[in-house]
Amino acid sequence: MIAIFAPVSQEDPKHGRWILPLVVAGLIGFTYVFVTALPEAEEVAPASATGTSTTTTTEAITTSTTTTTLDPATDAFIETTRTIERNVTDLAELAQQINDSWDTRDVTYTPTREALEDLEIQTITLEESAAATEVPDAGTDDWVGVTAGLADMTTAAGAMIFGLVEAEGTQPRLDALEAYKLAADSVENALGVVRRAVRNP
């Protein structure tokens, strides 16, 4: 028997084992060529260098409070004006009470007359005290209104006594009471004017 041997092929029968490496190599080469062919990217400068810079400045609002310090003599004078004002207010209220009590006959004649006489004395004392008050230069012109108002109160206090003791009817006394209260209001207003003047000379 003659054995027939087919010649052994020198070629690798498994062709597929070379295809994948070739494909990968081709992709790598293609990618390299593509990337190197791209234009260089433009460099973008930072916004602070090329853009418009907007600077916002916040200014703090400073509120200053100015306190005016008065000298001790002026402070003492202002306190004196407040004392006078309180006395004027009290005397005006007292005058009203005395007359109301007499009109309603809650108080008899003699105590009413004595109360009005005492009111007159207190008013005169206050007037004299104000006249002797040392007034700062800035308030001397306006102080005239204070002394004039106190003089009017003294006059009205005497008129109330006359209206009770000498006059016929009640109207003269009541008119004197209204004059007394109006004079008290004028004194209080004048004191306010004086205080403003000495605070802002």
Question: pLDDT (tens digit, 9 = 90+) per residue, 63-73?
Answer: 444 455 778 99
Altogether, the residues listed in the chain come to a count of 201
Q: Is the pLDDT of residue 194 over 90?
A: yes
Question: pLDDT (tens digit, 9 = 90+) per residue, 89-103?
Answer: 999 999 999 999 999
Task: Summarize the confidence of residues 145-162 as an average pLDDT.
Answer: 98
Q: Which domains, ranges and CATH numbers included, belong to the chain?
A: 72-199 (1.20.120)
Q: Is the pLDDT of residue 17 over 90?
A: no
pLDDT above 90 covers what percent of the chain? 64
How many angstroms separate the CA atoms of 191 and 177, rounded? Answer: 21
Buried b (16+ CB within 10 A) or exposed e, 11-37: eeeeeeeeeeeeeeeeeeeeeeeeeee
